[in-house]
Amino acid sequence: MRETVDLLIEDPRWQTIGLEEISQAAVDATLRHLRLDPEAFELSLMGCDDARIRALNVEFREKDKATNVLSWPSEERASEQRGGMPELPQTGGGPFAEELGDIAIAYETCVREAEELGRSATDHVTHLIVHGVLHLLGFDHIDDKDAALMEGLEREILEILGISDPYRITD
């Protein structure tokens, strides 16, 4: 069985919450939900700290601040129609996996956000990895229609993983 996630842990604190297991489960669930075979694809995931993701955010987005997750798709797959399904990758079934792209996720920001949201770090990180994988597949949240499609998929995938709706507003 081929691993879908090529994981690089730059910040050892990620090991305390099991980033390897979390990421593999999140990636596999996302691909399967979209009827894609996880063994036919691979992506790189870097578990880093706020300083590293801030530098990446400056370099690639010209935003001088830390963020929770960044993604770099290997191909542009977005739909030209707002709220439309992206063109999902196809694989020829050869011996090599199709590269989806790269994701970076920042420990301090994720843990802080989880605490602020009253969620477990595991659930929040799982959500962010699902979110990042959807970006690699061409989904986005730039406008309301795109956001509705992407958030709907996130809810469905997280439900499969036994995680409550991260967009549900509670008092």
pTM for the full predicted model: 0.94
CA 46, CA 70: separation in Å to the nearest integer?
10
Judged against a pLDDT cut of 70, whether residue 70 lies above it is answered with yes
**Is residue 160 classed as helix, strand or coil in its secondary structure?**
helix
Is the pLDDT at 171 greater than 50? The verdict is no
- Percentage of the chain surpassing pLDDT 90? 85
